[in-house]
Amino acid sequence: MEQQTPQQRRFGSRRTATGRQPTVRPRAMILAACAAVLAVVLAVGFFSAPEARTTPSAAPSAATTAEASASPSASLDASAPAAPASSAVVGALDARIQAILDANSQYQIGVAVVDLSQDAGSADVHEYGVRQKFVAASTAKVLAAAAYYHLVETGAASLDDPLGNFTAGFQLREMIQQSDNDSWSLIMDAVGHEELTEYAASLGVSYVPETNTLTPAEMATIVSRLYSGTLLNAGDTAQLLSYMQHTNYETLIPAAVPEGITVFHKYGLLNGELHDAAILAQGNTAYALVIYTKGEGLSDDPERTEVIHQLTQAVAGALV
């Protein structure tokens, strides 16, 4: 379905929002962790090509779980020099991404890549193409979901709280897996718009719900921290990532990923915006990949979808 910004949902939608930001009262019971830890075992590698500008990811604001924070270098020889082949692969990836953007300069395209083989607090976000803010469309639902889970973890809300005709847990799943806009509106109001802005700022992300804009690098920071286990606790991390698999729209990044690579993603589709924000993982390595595109409208979606596929294949090729 075509996605809408929160502001569009609140004015002229199937369900009219009041504009009031309800306060979620603390509940006596918080859901226990519901899934095993998604362990992130880190491997070696980093970007160095001059075409890509790098910005540091925001430092973690919460302790990583013991499993997720296990040292990646425990079994490595610390005195061994970096393998020259690794730098060659990274340089080739940078060059290929830039070549794809150069060949499709008629579109506004922003790409952000994070090599999650590095420590979650020091990994760089590598940016290509447009670095300014895009209308984030439904990719921002990941941020809203994380903010609600944060309320649950601090005791200010519960997944069993009633939201609309269902529970908050149901609305979270529908918002991410089915990209439901009514669920998004309910979650946003439950969190509170001002509170959502403050939560994003705590992650080093500048976000205003009424405009719903993010840079590709900011979105990459969000999904990187989610996957690395520094955003939420282990159970909530596992649950949210599970909703980012097998969604109602798998034709963008997932369609271009070879067999054997696991994809967690959230797409965005709104007028001329066509986006996807994903984690690509295989074995002990993973990349965060965010691709934001803007064109003339729905008419050039097939062409931009092909560009997204080409960029995805370039990054996926670094995993195999």
Identify the pLDDT of residue 296: 87
User: Angle CA(214)–CA(218)–CA(221) in degrees, nearest 5?
Assistant: 150
Identify the pLDDT of residue 20: 34
Residues of the chain below pLDDT 70: 1-90, 118-123
Report, in angstroms and rounded to the nearest whole number, the Rg of the chain calculated over CA atoms: 19
Identify the pLDDT of residue 284: 87
Q: Structure pTM?
A: 0.75
CB 218 within 8 A of CB 205: yes
Residue 124: name the closest of 191, 228, 53, 51 by CA: 53
CB 157 within 8 A of CB 151: yes
Identify the pLDDT of residue 273: 97
Identify the pLDDT of residue 223: 98
Structure tokens at 100: 């794809």
Domain ranges of the chain: 6-12+40-57+84-138+212-317
Amino acid at 190: A
Residue 164: name the closest of 178, 143, 183 by CA: 183
Count of alpha carbons within 13 Å of 3, Cβ hemisphere only?
30
State how far the Cα of 291 lies from the Cα of 216, in Å rounded to an integer: 7
Identify the pLDDT of residue 42: 33
Identify the pLDDT of residue 319: 83
CATH of domain 6-12+40-57+84-138+212-317: 3.40.710.10
State how far the Cα of 94 lies from the Cα of 100, in Å rounded to an integer: 10
CB 272 within 8 A of CB 263: no
Place of tokens 């910005």: 55
